A and B are shown apart, each in its own frame.
Chain A
Amino acid sequence: MTEEIIIAGFGGQGVLSMGKILAYSGIMEDKEVSWMPSYGPEMRGGTANVAVIISDERINSPVLHNFDTAIILNQQSMDKFEESVNPGGVLLYDPNGIIHHPTRKDINIYTIEGANEASKLKSSKTFNMIVLGAFLKIKPIVKMENVLKGLKKSLPERHHHLIPMNEEAIKVGFEKIKEVQTV
């Protein structure tokens, strides 16, 4: 199993930490992982993205051209990464703020109302965990118990009281994901 994922959105949405939690979850399952952020001035208010690879085998290139899954959280990222999804792959996005929806016919498309659901939970910070939950529903590449272990590993201890809320958010994502098209 090798899963190559791009997570892309605005700086501040928790894109990099979502990737980190996913990578940690992979480690909990003894898988090989890599986490390659785009870093730089573009992170301030602009787009932030991270390529995460989880695999049973040794990972060669952390830099990729195409992905099995694209998790897209703003319009700029949609414009940039819709094309990079492998045919038959997955595009998961939050329709909030998206004007030009994906048009490809050869990929599986899902939506998750991450921003809306996060405000229902009264915590905008749960946004990324809702999206992660949605992703895990389509691609259960890591077990839920290991995601929680990964969450614990990547959060500093002073934030550990937030773990139940994050667990709740993952479940919301799991339930609220919508299928747009499957191929």
Chain B
Amino acid sequence: MEEVKLMKGNEAVAEAAIRAGVDAYFGYPITPQSEVIEYLMAEEPHKRTGMVVLQAESELAAINMVYGAAACGKKAMTSSSSPGFSLKQEGISYIAGAELPCVIVDVVRGGPGLGTIQPSQADYFQVVKGGGHGDYNLIVLAPATVQEMADFIELAFELAFKYRNPAVILSDGVIGQMMEKVVFSPQKERLTDEEVDKLYNSWATTGKKNGRERNIITSLELVPERQEAHNHHLQAKYKKITENEIRFETFNCEDADYLLVAYGSSARICQKTVQLAREKGIKVGLLRPITLWPYPSEAINKLADQVKGILAVEMSAGQMVEDVRLAVNGKVKVEHYGRFGGMVHSPNEVLDALETKIIGG
């Protein structure tokens, strides 16, 4: 049995990356996620596994280093916080277009602009709805515990390689900065160059051997007919991901009259709200999307048949609430509540909002 450790979410991301056999981390420090690169630098994983850790000159450089390493079939990742994530958008769109696997962690802080360094969930639109140009989707996982910050690294790489698509871990300053118990998986060996060649030689640039076609990594296709065909191919892949990879969990929904929908740290806060509400005799349940793309629309739609109203709780001016409304399709009232700009709502504030906006509204 592995030892139980007390760690920050950001540190857990870093340790989990080493253990997952990641080949390379490229990053640039920014609060509140700097502990990722700090931990990696202090831990010197090149001595443990041979993993490369490099502080790039900018976020743009870091994402393009990931692009390059991913093109060679390597497990590559980067992490940042909101303003830094914005800078990575061009690279992310290219990687999605070129169909390469990689993992990007966003520990969200308050915006817009440089904003604040305190927690926020206002990057939902940017991460879930694209952010970069073109028709693409990222696989988006939203951890709610320090343990999940660690577990989702391996899951994100698994999904990224399964579908040759970038995967994002969308976290926030609460989960990144808080400490909780965490238990890590045993160390996984990094793949050797020979293993990478064997597994990914249908697409990775591992050096052209006799008997196979050249593998070309590009997101450029100037013939519109071919670019349209490529887009059809991408859309078919996204459909497959949507059919197979939706993840969510529910709390106290069996007898619920009202529903909260929240992800990440807001889902933690809402669990306490459910407890407080039930102590007052109000039957509230919580649905927590674990994947934000693909989104658990069908599960929310089903619960809309049962409940009298739904409150989407997120630390933003109201972003995910649009997906809840699309899922519910007018069946019941859907409202949004959330503090934003770096402020974190308390369980009591969420309960007040539920009572005024949904129950009494």
Contacts and interface: CB of A to CB of B under 8 A. Distances in A.
A36 B118 contact: no
A134 to B, nearest CB: 23
Interface of A: 20, 23-24, 27, 32-37, 39-41, 59-66, 153-154
5 contacts: A20-B179, A39-B32, A61-B272, A62-B265, A63-B269
A62 B268 contact: yes
B178 A37 contact: yes
A22 B270 CA distance: 25
Contact of A60 (B177, B272, B344, B345): B272
B266 to A, nearest CB: 9
Contacts of A153: 6
Contacts of B177: 36-37, 39
Contacts of B270: 61
Most chain B beta carbons < 10 A, residue from A27, A61, A62: A61
A35 B181 CA distance: 10
Contacts of B348: 65-66
Given A24-B6, A41-B117, A35 B344 contact: no
A27 B4 contact: yes
A142 to B, nearest CB: 14
Contact of A61 (B31, B116, B118, B268): B268
B35 to A, nearest CB: 11
Contact of B174 (A24, A32, A63, A154): A63
B349 interface: yes
Q: How large is the interface on B (under 10, 10 to 19, 20 to 34, 35 or more residues)?
A: 20 to 34
A63 B347 contact: yes
B180 interface: yes
Interface in B212-270: 265, 268-270
Contact of A23 (B6, B117, B268, B347): B6
B42 to A, nearest CB: 11
Contacts of A33: 6, 179-181
A34 B346 contact: no
Nearest to B118: A40
A1 B317 CA distance: 36
Given A64-B347, A65-B349, A36 B178 contact: yes
Contacts of A24: 6
B344 A27 contact: no
B148 to A, nearest CB: 13
A61 B181 CA distance: 15
A61 to B, nearest CB: 4
Given A41-B117, A63-B347, A65-B349, A36 B174 contact: yes
Contacts of B346: 61, 63-65
Contact of B179 (A23, A65, A66): A23
Contacts of A41: 117
Nearest to A16: B179
Contact of A39 (B117, B265, B273, B347): B117
A62 B348 CA distance: 13
Contact of B265 (A23, A27, A63): A63
Given A27-B4, A33-B6, A41-B117, A61 B269 contact: yes
A15 B270 CA distance: 27
B271 interface: yes
A20 B177 CA distance: 13
A35 B347 contact: no
B272 A34 contact: no
Nearest to B179: A35
A34 B181 CA distance: 8
B275 interface: yes
